[in-house]
Amino acid sequence: MTIVIGFEGSANKIGIGIIRDGEVLSNPRRTYITPPGQGFLPSDTARHHRAVILTVLKEALEQAGLKPADIDCVAFTKGPGMGSPLVTVALVARTVAQLWGKPLLGVNHCIGHIEMGRLITQADNPTVLYVSGGNTQVIAYSERRYRIFGETIDIAVGNCLDRFARVIKISNDPSPGYNIEQMAKKGSQYVELPYTVKGMDVSFSGITSYIEEAAHKMISSGQCSAEDLCFSLQETVFSMLVEITERAMAHCGSGEVLIVGGVGCNLRLQEMMGVMCEERNAKLFATDERFCIDNGAMIAQAGWEMFRSGQVTELEDSWITQRYRTDEVEVTWRD
């Protein structure tokens, strides 16, 4: 049996998870939450992670009922992500690996999401839509790489939603996206917003600029409510995502879609994707917030796959990088 502990802290979540041969033994997590109207800065986020990481590590081991001696490998997020939080988590992972005398593994954050999604849903060879605060990509596996078929050419879909939440002062607790989703359920009027799909790629900066500029005028003039704007924004950006996912499926001849990343637990996105899949006689796979949102177990799972295929990261190579594309990683654990 192979037991891997995974450290994740590339953005405002700090999570440590333990996986034993496909079984999640523990997966505690903490979130750095800022006041409404504010985002999270790298230095403040890193300070939050430093304050709680050892508590989370203790929780992970206790919940799994394991001692450090039981761990076979220590995996951590190498990138992509925010510099200061990544450094904080990598530092602890490196220290722990040396103290415990265990091999170290630097994991690509995006691949962590994909492997966790595959494990939980048992999807075989899906077209993957990876949507979060920092990433928006349509991915499919081919010849030992996760190939990017389409992506955002500017900001991520989650960043678009978060920035809108800041403009109209929606709470960041538990997350801006979740609160937009709840408000959208009460919206009834669709407001037309810029829709930008360029071939296989999408762009969210235009719709973000437009809605940031227009939101207060529209709400104060009574043209629409905040709930209507939440509803309209969701419908528009999710339609763009469904369109490029369907195009990638057609290209790959795929019969499965897997949605991963923090925005992936949005039930409206899952519903819209489900309609498209039904029309194509395809299957939709998605997970809930335990595994969609950044967590340690996903890094442990990707680390488990990598470790089993003979990969380890030497100490001198255990640096982090803010830019680390999904297709840069050789997928040695899939044929």
Q: What burial class does residue 293 get, using C-beta atoms within 10 Å of its C-beta: 0-12 exposed, 13-18 middle, 19+ buried?
A: buried
Give the torsion through C-alpha atoms of 288, 289, 292, 296, to 10 deg. -120
Reference 297, options 107, 18, 106; nearest CA is 18
**335 known ligand binder:** no
> Is residue 57 a contact partner of residue 67, using CB atoms and an 8 Å limit?
no
133 is in an annotated binding site: yes
> Is 181 marked as binding a ligand?
yes
Looking at 72-175, list the stretches that DSSP marks H as alpha helix, in order from N- to C-terminal side.
83-100, 109-121, 157-167
**Residue 212, annotated as binding a ligand:** no
113 is in an annotated binding site: yes
Q: How many helices (H) and strands (E) are present in the chain, helices listed first? A: 10, 13
Contact 12, 31 (CB under 8 A): yes
Is 317 among the annotated ligand-binding positions? no
The helix (H) or strand (E) run that includes residue 31 is: strand 29-31
Q: Please give the C-alpha separations between residue 19 and each of 135, 151, 295, in angstroms, as whole numbers.
A: 25, 30, 12
Measured between alpha carbons, how far is 208 from 211 in angstroms, rounded to an integer?
5
Binding site annotation covers 130?
yes
Residue partners of 9: CB distance under 8 A and separation at least 6 = 15, 49, 53, 77, 81, 85, 86, 88, 89
49 known member of a binding site: no
- Spatial separation of the C-alpha atoms in residues 115 and 146, rounded to whole Å: 11
Tokens 């986020």 locate to 45
Residue 177 in marked binding region:
yes
Which residues does 227 contact at the CB level (< 8 Å), separation at least 6? 183, 184, 186, 187, 188
Does the annotation place 294 within a ligand binding site? Answer: yes
- Evaluate whether 208 touches 163 at the Cβ level (below 8 Å): yes
3-state helix, strand, coil in the chain (%, to 5): 50, 20, 30
Q: Which residues are annotated as a binding site?
A: 109, 113, 130-134, 162, 177, 181, 266, 294
Q: Which residues are annotated as a binding site for a divalent metal cation?
A: 109, 113, 130, 294
Q: Which residues are annotated as a binding site for substrate?
A: 130-134, 162, 177, 181, 266
